[in-house]
Structure 1
Amino acid sequence: MNNTRNMKTSTLIKRFAPYFKKYSKILILDLFCASLTTICEMVLPLMVRFITNKGMNDLQSLTLELIFTIGALYLVLRIIDTAAYYYMANIGHMMGAYIETDMRTDLFAHLQKLPYSYYDNTKVGQIMARITSDLFDITEFAHHCPEEFFIAALKIVVSFIILSSINLPLTLIIFSIVPIMFVSLRYFNRKMRRAFKASRHQIGELNSQVEDSLLGVRVVKSFANEEIEEEKFEQGNGDFLHIKKDMYRYMAGFHSTTRLFDGIMYITVVVAGAIFMLHGKINPADLMAYLLYVSTLLTTIRRIVEFTEQFQRGMTGIERFLEIMDTPVDIADSPDAQEMGDVVGDIQFEHVDFRYEDNKDNVLSNIHLHVKPGDNVALVGPSGGGKTTLCNLIPRFYDVTAGRILIDGKDIRDFSLHSLRSKIGVVQQEVYLFSGSVYDNIEYGKPGATKEEIVQAAKLAGAHEFILNLPEGYHSYVGERGVKLSGGQKQRISIARVFLKNPPILILDEATSALDNESERIVQQSLEKLAHGRTTFTIAHRLTTIRNAATILVLTENGIEEQGTHDELLAKQGVYFHLYNMSDLGNNK
């Protein structure tokens, strides 16, 4: 994963800013409303100053008409303030929600494009934390960040102008304290940022741990290891608490420092203002107005300081968002990628090498192979020989390190990924069924398929009868990962899914190795129907299931060790001969 830990705040904001473009009209109107609320708030001290001066210097001119006029004017301003605030609190907040939604959409779309290698090295719980909780604070940040800073800037500038007109020396004394305050807070600011990020990371770790434990709850219970899982969770939960302690310590220091400077500024105004009044440099009415404006100024500074906590949460969310968005999509369409048309099924491996990113040694070396259309090629060999890896290269789940793979004479990298993968069907050993109905899971092979097509696919897969016996037939709920179905039932639904897709190229990755004998017999019949007329790669665990394959490849760490038909390889009495004789059925043939 690309690490943006050292990315500057200015850079993060620059990367985040384009999300405002789509909602620029809302943002402009929101800032306009913010200026209206600011103006309404700043007028009150001027009114108080005006009335106080009239009362002290010319009481007779302070008529009821003037008092009611000022009161009516202020009432009008409050109505305007209320309407403006309603827009900010409603539509302004929705702008933040829209931006959060857009970011989550972009993040999910990017995750869909990332290769297998990314998921090999990243915990799903961490990804879940980033796509859900990490972006929750974006709503508040996206709304309040421009609004709060705009209001603060406006109030500080207006306050400075008005206060300077009342008493410039006192104003300069007050404003000289503000930079010292912000410099003092910078230390806690940096510590809070690190603590927030550590907190988010630990939440992802907890999510991963909970997900792992709950998905494996049957294994946990079967080994009576509930206490072990509780201890593991307690450790992770304790780590999170420790991070929280640090976070709240820095937050306490941050806010305590703010309160200290609040007091310093207030006492400075009172003491310095009294001295100026003693020497006739400021009158009581002006000092009262001054105190009101300083109160407004301090409230503004306090809001900015308090917003800093939310700001840092937002920055952390953006930072972790960008860590995923900056992860390169290693496997993508070339600029001139073509759509794959009708496929005959002629596949060639030309001097193919492959190694994983975190491994210096090749898993596959100099693989040279030609599979003719409609042939069934079986891959056998010891674990770690590269059987699954070789098959994963055909739909470009990984890209070759060297050499090339051709389908019907064209390099697979010249085709768009979508069109390439739409021509390839995969039946895996570990079947994944989505939470939903049987119907939904079969339809996944061809979204929008008719009911007749889905039923026909189920019949071809040998699944129709057991589906009808389920409580709600095709609309029966399969549970999380198909937990309510047996292994054989899940496998037949996955085969029905591929029948519905009807691809010209087929990959069967040890599709029957986890099944009992009866389920294996039924599923094997379905697989034979499925493979008929298609170019098929079969990764076999039980060697008797591939005796009729056109070609059997024996893959070891040395590459393709042997190649031929079942009878030819037995006659050689080499690696395949020994593998076959070690298998259960081989010993009982």
Structure 2
Amino acid sequence: MAAAFGRLAVHGRRRRPAIRHSEAHPVCGRPCHSRQALRPAAADRRSRLGDGGAARRIRLYQQLHVQQSRPADRLRDPQPPVPPFAELDLGFYDRRRTGDLMSRMTSDVNQLQQMVSSGTMGILTDAVTFIAIAGYMLLENAQMTVALLALFPVMFLTARRYGGRMRRTFRRVQETVAEMSSHLQDTLSSIRLVKSFSAEERESAVFARLSADNRDANLRSTRFSAIFSPMIDLLQYAGMAFVLAFGSWQAMRGDMTAGSVIAYLSYLRLLQNPVRRFSRLMSTVQQSAAAYDRIMETMSAVPDVKDRPDASELRLAGGEIAFEQVSFRYSSSSSDVLHEFNLTLAPGKTTALVGSSGAGKTTAAHLVMRYYDATRGRITIDGTDIRDVTQASLRRQIAIVSQDVMLRNGSVRANLTYGKPGAAEEEMISAAQAAYAHPFIEELPDGYDTEVGERGVRLSGGQKQRLSIARALLADPKVIILDEATASLDTESEQLIQAALETLLSGRTSLVIAHRLSTVRRADLIVVMEQGRIVQSGTHEELMEQGGRYRHLYELQFPQQAG
């Protein structure tokens, strides 16, 4: 072995390339006698590049950044083929937590973008480098190269084994992040409930437990990452030891020169650099793969309610709505909520649904809006099955005013015009006046430009309800659905809301859901529901004469009048 090293040293000195001192300087034309003389040429080239070279480099960086960001940006792009969250049906949201969805579209997408922007170009470059160097090494010494490349399947199997485990641990990390986001979103959205029950310490303890779970998951993933890279390095050092021993043996036999062995070691180092960088990148790859799995689980979701390929635009004439043998059950339920439900809502008339909680009243309204599709039977508007028209054209013709008023964090103006973004100022004010909302809006600090806060927290219940009615009036729908619109209002607010509702319902096909029978006495038709079936129907006077369930409910609410 010592003799071999001696031969390597001799041959190494013998084959060292000489520097040609007679080459002319590329700028001045004089002979260059040392490497020092080349420095002015390099400096001159840098000076000739000047600001133009810097500008070109900046433009190149910007182009690369844009190209690398596009794959992740497409995950947020609301264009096909990736279905946006907004196009998924309500059943999808019933089964998932808001915080989890937010985590998938922020944390997971950012993780994937980090991989795309920082790792893709390096992986492609390293792959080309690896193939080129391996090919050259095969030409130089096929026997040694084949033996050396036999180590790479071992590296591949090691990467595959540990890669799967790393992927599972990183997925657990992202799941714990989603759990933390869900809890935080629930806590902040119901902060008044937390304060009212003095549950701050309890919620903090829950968040601390979730944070500990996230910490433990991160430690497990870090352990796997810390083990993987040294294992790959160990295999690479084994390859270098093999080359050194085998090359020395061939040098002793005279099959290789010392210079060839040294060059081969240099090539091996170049070959190992891409593998080493990939092993360092392995944790990012597996973390991004786990993020990609979670993203695609959501983005590949197929909505239960979707437009048919030949769906047409809804054109309303009178606005008659008919339930024909409709049965429905939620995906999480084992029994039907509606049972062979038959009802016709006369055009331009008001139909009221009353009955006990859980009778299926709100479900019937949601089916009209096509938030869900009927399990059996069909719903028609002017004789057209609502599944044969587009969801957008159907919902443009319907407005819903519910007890739980949904206002967005923005100005009064933005909330009023949400259903009709291009509405003129005069139209908006007229709708607010018809809903008895204009006077209190004028008293707000900035009038129609006043911020209402998240979910309208800066307004009272009556004010929010009047804004909701004004928003519906401005949209000018042909069909109105009122779902307990006055259930939680005081007497004064209820009187104002009732006056606004009379304006809203006038001349429109209306479906009113109410527990307070005082709000439905004027309805053209009152339908009493129990356990998803119709048990009575008629006007207030007719139902009082019939007795039965309606009269029983009325006497419970107004015992003095009944007496």
**Cα distance change on mapping 1:58 and 1:185 into 2, 3 Å:** closer
**Cα distance change on mapping 1:317 and 1:64 into 2, 3 Å:** farther
Question: Is 2:545 the counterpart of 1:571?
Answer: yes
**Cα distance change on mapping 1:109 and 1:163 into 2, 3 Å:** closer
**Cα distance change on mapping 1:474 and 1:396 into 2, 3 Å:** same
Question: Paired residue for 2:71?
Answer: 99
Q: What residue identity is the alignment partner of 1:63?
A: H
Q: Give the drift of 1:137.
A: 2.4
Asked if the contact 1:149–1:304 (Cα under 8 Å) also holds between the matched residues in 2, the reply is yes
Q: What residue identity is the alignment partner of 2:518?
A: T
Match of 1:63 among 6, 16, 21: 21
Q: Give the drift of 1:432.
A: 1.0
Q: Give the drift of 1:159.
A: 1.3
Q: Give the drift of 1:146.
A: 4.9
**Cα distance change on mapping 1:60 and 1:452 into 2, 3 Å:** closer
The separation in 2 between residues aligned to 1:69 and 1:141, in whole angstroms, is: 48
Question: Paired residue for 1:514?
Answer: 488
Report matched runs for 1:20-35 at 5 Å.
Answer: none
Q: What residue identity is the alignment partner of 2:442?
A: L
Unmatched 5+ residue regions in structure 2? 1-9, 26-31
Report matched runs for 1:439-518 at 5 Å.
Answer: 439-518=413-492
Q: What residue identity is the alignment partner of 1:220?
A: V
Structure 1 runs, 4 residues or longer, greater than 6 Å off: 52-55, 58-61, 66-76, 78-88
Specify the SS of the correspondent of 1:132.
Answer: helix
Question: Is 2:326 the counterpart of 1:368?
Answer: no
Question: Is 2:111 the counterpart of 1:137?
Answer: yes
**Cα distance change on mapping 1:206 and 1:70 into 2, 3 Å:** farther
Question: Paired residue for 1:44?
Answer: none
Identical aligned residues as a percent: 36
The separation in 2 between residues aligned to 1:457 and 1:289, in whole angstroms, is: 84
Question: Is 2:202 the counterpart of 1:202?
Answer: no
Question: Is 2:202 the counterpart of 1:244?
Answer: no
**Cα distance change on mapping 1:422 and 1:117 into 2, 3 Å:** same
* Structure having the higher Rg: 2
Q: Indicate the larger mover: 509-518 or 65-74.
A: 65-74
Residues matched between the structures, number: 536
The separation in 1 between residues aligned to 2:24 and 2:140, in whole angstroms, is: 23
The separation in 2 between residues aligned to 1:510 and 1:497, in whole angstroms, is: 17
**Cα distance change on mapping 1:176 and 1:194 into 2, 3 Å:** same
- CA RMSD in angstroms, aligned pairs only: 2.9
Asked if the contact 2:11–2:257 (Cα under 8 Å) also holds between the matched residues in 1, the reply is no
Question: Is 2:235 the counterpart of 1:277?
Answer: no
Match of 1:300 among 274, 279, 288: 274
Q: Give the drift of 1:297.
A: 1.2
Question: Paired residue for 2:5?
Answer: none
Asked if the contact 1:167–1:282 (Cα under 8 Å) also holds between the matched residues in 2, the reply is no
Q: Give the drift of 1:314.
A: 2.4
The separation in 1 between residues aligned to 2:271 and 2:16, in whole angstroms, is: 30
Question: Paired residue for 2:520?
Answer: 546
Question: Paired residue for 1:528?
Answer: 502
Specify the SS of the correspondent of 1:314.
Answer: helix
Asked if the contact 1:95–1:142 (Cα under 8 Å) also holds between the matched residues in 2, the reply is no
Q: Give the drift of 1:564.
A: 0.9
Q: What residue identity is the alignment partner of 1:314?
A: S
Asked if the contact 2:15–2:259 (Cα under 8 Å) also holds between the matched residues in 1, the reply is no
Asked if the contact 1:363–1:557 (Cα under 8 Å) also holds between the matched residues in 2, the reply is yes
Q: Indicate the larger mover: 457-466 or 403-412.
A: 403-412
Asked if the contact 1:386–1:557 (Cα under 8 Å) also holds between the matched residues in 2, the reply is yes
Question: Is 2:302 the counterpart of 1:344?
Answer: no
The separation in 1 between residues aligned to 2:33 and 2:369, in whole angstroms, is: 78
Asked if the contact 1:93–1:139 (Cα under 8 Å) also holds between the matched residues in 2, the reply is no
The separation in 2 between residues aligned to 1:165 and 1:300, in whole angstroms, is: 20
The one-character-per-residue Cα deviations of 1:461-506 (angstroms, maximum 9, x if unpaired) are: 1100100101100000111111111111111111111000010100
**Cα distance change on mapping 1:461 and 1:58 into 2, 3 Å:** closer
Asked if the contact 1:426–1:507 (Cα under 8 Å) also holds between the matched residues in 2, the reply is yes
The one-character-per-residue Cα deviations of 1:424-457 (angstroms, maximum 9, x if unpaired) are: 0100111111111000000102111111111111
The one-character-per-residue Cα deviations of 1:304-363 (angstroms, maximum 9, x if unpaired) are: 222222222222222222211221122111222111124311111111111111222110
Match of 1:438 among 412, 418, 424: 412
The separation in 1 between residues aligned to 2:409 and 2:33, in whole angstroms, is: 67
The separation in 1 between residues aligned to 2:24 and 2:207, in whole angstroms, is: 70
The one-character-per-residue Cα deviations of 1:506-542 (angstroms, maximum 9, x if unpaired) are: 0000011122222222112111211111111111121
Asked if the contact 2:12–2:258 (Cα under 8 Å) also holds between the matched residues in 1, the reply is no
Specify the SS of the correspondent of 2:23.
Answer: helix
The separation in 1 between residues aligned to 2:354 and 2:34, in whole angstroms, is: 92
Question: Is 2:370 the counterpart of 1:412?
Answer: no
Q: Indicate the larger mover: 469-478 or 185-194.
A: 185-194
The separation in 1 between residues aligned to 2:12 and 2:298, in whole angstroms, is: 63
TM-score for both structures, normalised by structure 1: 0.85
The separation in 2 between residues aligned to 1:60 and 1:548, in whole angstroms, is: 107
The separation in 2 between residues aligned to 1:587 and 1:484, in whole angstroms, is: 38
Q: Indicate the larger mover: 173-182 or 428-437.
A: 173-182
Report matched runs for 1:371-386 at 5 Å.
Answer: 371-386=345-360
Asked if the contact 1:55–1:62 (Cα under 8 Å) also holds between the matched residues in 2, the reply is no
